Amino acid sequence: MSVLAACGVTQAADYAVLAATSNTYSNYRHQADVAHAYQVLKEGGIPEDNIITFMYDDIANARQNPFPGKLFNAPTPKGTPGRDVYAGVKIDYKSTDVSAANFLSVLKGDAAAMKGKGTGRVLKSTKKDRVFVNIVDHGAPGMVAFPHTTLYKEDLQSALEYMHENNMYKQLVFYLEACESGSMFEDLPTNISVYATTAANAKESSWGTYCGSDAKVDGKSLNTCLGDLYSVNWMQNADSQNLQTETLETQYTKVKQLTTRSHVMQFGAIDAITPEPAANFEGSETRNVTHVVAQAGSASEKVASRDIPVHTLFTAYLNAPSEKRAEAAAELVAEITAREEADARFERIAKIAAAGRQVTVGAALKHRDCHRAADTAVAQYCGGYSDYSRRHVRTMIDVCEAIGGDATSVVDAIRAVC
């Protein structure tokens, strides 16, 4: 029990929702990040019963994982075992239960919608409580990817407004790790007591860290990236600082300085919430600093998020024993070929849909119905976006804007090409 609780003071950071919303081994870092976040909150004194966790849970026991049943969010030299952040993590929603609709239902406390799914747990916070939310995943302008569905900016912000209107929190803090993550909180109201920070602005990639030759634990290579730069930076800060004296603004400033490959952003009720101690949302107990490692800000190898799958396969090829080298090479070539085919496919779609009209790169997203229709059509006819081809969400947005939101033309082009 914390000193605050012993003195009869209501402890802050009462509830949390954590979500690693990707799958496959190349996305190791996302599940490792969320597992680490779980440990940060648990060590900070937030009751496990108040932490709801989404994780596809296909990495810890994946065939590629040289440490079965374990996840690491930072490297260690040979002779040092490393910290297994997966140990003790209680996962509420796995596999296909990791969906955008389920995530929103949990936020809104909709127990009926979650009946028969995972543990069925939803937020039960009140107007007296503080809520911390952390998503780690792939993104694109105006969206965050789930394994088989999409979380759109409008739906997320609508859920946050619903929570505010229904007195589900006193203050809510949201940390989002994804490419173009800043796009999810543009126009976030400042009067609903929500503060958000993101790994990147609305137009750039987020970055993985502890990649390649740095992705080693006890001297053994994991052939992937162990973490995401923004996420690792905020959690290593939380592990090592007195969060009762460090404010959210101070943590944001430190993380922004360390996250050198993208622009860390902040949105919402900045002036009202950032002076709060970080302990109010990340837990107030004293941490076990024996597992703290050096910050990842400048020393480790980093890779742009959408290049990590090919980087992972290239690293696996370099580290493969001679009898496995041909198989590893084939997997690498297949990934490169798939990337080239995706680029060509979306170039053809854009050309057909635009029909000779000028397409402006980076156009403002105004025709949202066209954008959603294109996203649905890509899922239906092209098998969805890959981690790499999600860069072409921007292509589809630019085309929609160029043709005045004519969704039929875009859908017809997608159907014709795919």
List 138, 311, 367, 371, catalytic entry: 138
Contact between 136 and 34 (Cβ < 8 Å) = yes
Q: Using DSSP, state whether 265 is helix, strand or coil.
A: strand
CA 209 to chain centre: 14
Phi then psi dihedrals of residue 391, to 5 deg: -60, -25
Alpha helices in 172-240 (DSSP H): 229-240
List 7, 148, 164, 179, catalytic entry: 179
Q: Angle, to 10 degrees, between the axis of helix 325-354 and the axis of helix 393-402?
A: 10
CA atoms within 13 A on the CB side of 10: 11
Distance separating alpha carbons of residues 264 and 200, to the nearest angstrom: 5
Q: Angle, to 10 degrees, between the axis of helix 325-354 and the axis of helix 308-319?
A: 160
179 is known as an active-site residue: yes
* Percent of the chain as helix, strand, coil, to the nearest 5: 45, 15, 45
Which positions are annotated as active-site residues?
A: 138, 179
